[in-house]
Amino acid sequence: MRVSIGFTYTTLVSSEIVAATSGVGWMVLDAGRFLRTDVIFAGIFVMGITGLALDRVVRLLERRIVPWKGLAE
C-alpha cells in the first residue's frame, strides 16, 4: 500500500508537469522557465512534506487496521 501511494503521488506530480496549468508540479516547471529558484525549492519542499505526510497517514492506518502486523512468533 505504501509503495502504491508513492507511485500514485509521483504520477500525479508528473502529470501536472506534462498536461496541467495548475498544481505543484506545474508551479515548479513554470518557475524553472523563469529561473525562480526560490519557487522551485519551495515546490520541491512541499512535494516532499506532502509525500512524508501521506506515508505517515498510511502507517497510522496500518497500525489501527492491522494490529497483528509484526507479531510473528
Cell numbers representing residue 22 in the block:
495548475
Nearest to 40 by CA among 32, 48, 49: 32
Q: How far apart are CA 20 and CA 3, in angstroms?
A: 24
Q: How far is CA 11 from CA 4, 38, 43, 51, 62, in A?
A: 10, 24, 16, 12, 23
pTM of the model: 0.78
> Which pLDDT score, from 0 to 100, does residue 73 have?
58
Does 41 or 2 have the greater pLDDT score?
Answer: 41
Angle at 36 between CA 33 and CA 42, to 5 degrees: 115
pLDDT digits (tens, 9 = 90+) for 38-62: 999 999 999 999 999 999 999 999 8
